[in-house]
Amino acid sequence: MTISRHLGSVVCLLAVAALACSPKGNAPAAPWWGASANPAKARAVMRIVGDTMAQAHLKAAIVRVTVDGKEIVTQALGESMTGVPAMPSMFFRNGAVATSYIATLLLKLVDDKKLSLDDKLSTWLPDIPNADRVTLGQLARMTSGYPDYANADFNAAIAADPFRQWTPEQLLGYAVTKPLLYEPGTNWNFARTNYVLLGLALEKATGEELPKLLRDRVLGPLALVNTANSYTPDIPVPTLHTFTSERRRALGIPSGTPFYEDSTYWNPSWTMARGAVQTTNIYDLEATAVGIGSGKLLSAQSYKAMVSPALRGKAPGDTYGLGIVISGDWLLQNPMFAGQAAVEAYLPSQKIAIAVAVTYRPDAFDAQGRYRNEAETLFRKIGAEMAPNDAPPVR
């Protein structure tokens, strides 16, 4: 997927591993080359990463692959900033990964008989247009018909001031007053609007703020100690820095003029439900792939609902479940924001988990500042290496 916004590699050396390469929580104690359950596969994966970095003009790539909880490889290549090596311990934004957490929260509340997927949005947000026609399940599956608030006017506002702090009310003002795109439940469209509304509804339904709900019911039970919401653009240290050219067209910068700006601390408040704008690291990203992809926190019925591909309107090869993308037999999320892309993916039948985060060099952007989710490219290549008989569809 191409968007306009939304080998000389450096490794984390043993000499500095005790300080720079020892992350918290889900991190293994030993570096991958001493602990890999399959060193041959580890080498094959890192060859793929190195080759893709060169081909796709990546500045940094952080990768973690496990099979049934056993580490195959955890490694970082490239630079965070000039002269600063990328490291597996670095933190970055997880973007759309949080939709999987919110969907899991909803399904846990359903399992606890506190809510139903068929409950109408109007029960908690009666003043939202068409709320009496839209269910919580349709919000989670993105079949509500609400348009995405990230339209042309909104994108212009973001390009003009990427540091602006946005409220849910401001975001919804770009979307919910417009007509539904279709009768709720009859089609699918990507719209961040759904999860902003769902986050507000879950807060109303429980009387608790979303960060606490997610921490108590999802992040905590999955031991995601490196993942947290922030109400500011701050990212914990060590930080994976990001750079982008995506404002080139909006700012009227000619294609022949060099343009590449630091976007690390652009404000992500517009990207997700309030209280679910999170940062993470590669260890928690992989743990998310396992925990969400295996349905660890859900009843069998709710997990079946989450992974059901019964949708219309999505391209062949990929579809959408409840808060997850379904690509072949793989379950994943694939965020992009401000010159950073990531993927967390899980193949339930073989218990393979892949987590990837990448940043970009100037030549990764086209003449208009557009770029691709090359974390997806990496995931699909690594997936084919790890599961040749059940490889992710090529896109």
Query: How many residues can be counted in the chain?
Result: 395
**pLDDT of 11:** 33
Q: Using one digit for the tens of pLDDT, what is the confidence trace for 135-173?
A: 999 999 999 999 999 999 999 999 999 999 999 999 999
What angle do helix axes 193-206 and 97-111 make, rounded to 10 degrees?
40
* pLDDT surpassing 60 at residue 38: yes
Record the tokens describing residue 135, joined without a space: 């269910």
Lowest mean pLDDT among 8-12, 21-25, 149-153, 352-356: 8-12
Residue 12: strand, helix, or coil: coil
Q: What is the rounded average pLDDT for all residues in the chain?
A: 92
Give the Cα separation of 374 and 340 in Å (integer).
Answer: 9
Residues 244-252: what's their mean pLDDT? Answer: 96
Residue reference for tokens 């022949």? 256
pLDDT band for 315, please (50, 70, 90 cuts).
Answer: low
Which pTM was predicted?
0.91
**pLDDT of 14:** 30
Are 63 and 341 contacting, i.e. CB atoms less than 8 angstroms apart? no
* pLDDT surpassing 50 at residue 385: yes
DSSP assignment of 100-134 equals HHHHHHHHHHHHTTS--TT-BGGGT-TTSTTTTT-
Residue 304: strand, helix, or coil: helix
Q: Give residue 82's Cα distance to chain centre.
A: 25
**Residue type at position 195:** Y
For 175: left if phi > 0, alpha if psi spans -120 to 50, otherwise beta; the answer is: alpha
* pLDDT surpassing 60 at residue 69: yes
Q: Max Cα separation, the chain?
A: 61
**pLDDT of 310:** 77
**Residue type at position 259:** F
Residues 285-312: what's their mean pLDDT? Answer: 94
pLDDT band for 312, please (50, 70, 90 cuts).
Answer: low
**pLDDT of 302:** 98
List, in sequence order, the alpha helices (H) in the chain. 17-20, 32-35, 39-56, 97-111, 136-141, 152-160, 168-172, 193-206, 210-214, 282-293, 300-307, 374-386
In order of their start, the domains of the chain are: 2-390 (3.40.710.10)
Please tell me which residue, 217 or 24, carries the higher pLDDT value. 217
**pLDDT of 390:** 98
pLDDT band for 313, please (50, 70, 90 cuts).
Answer: low
Q: Which residues of 274-298 are buried (b: 16+ CB within 10 A; e: fewer)?
A: bbbbbbbbbbbbbbbbbbbbebebb
Give the Cα separation of 276 and 273 in Å (integer).
Answer: 5
CA angle 282, 287, 293 (to 5 degrees): 125
Are 235 and 264 contacting, i.e. CB atoms less than 8 angstroms apart? yes
| Dihedral in degrees, nearest 10, Cα atoms 91, 373, 164, 138 | -100
Number of C-beta neighbours around residue 115 at 10 A: 22
Give the Cα separation of 367 and 2 in Å (integer).
Answer: 13
Give the Cα separation of 174 and 151 in Å (integer).
Answer: 8
Of the chain, the percentage scoring pLDDT greater than 70 comes to: 90
Nearest to 101 by CA among 257, 227, 201: 227
**pLDDT of 314:** 58
- Please report, for residues 133, 147, 197, 388, the alpha-carbon distance to residue 128 in angstroms, rounded to integers and kept in the order given: 11, 13, 9, 47
64: which strand partners? 74, 355
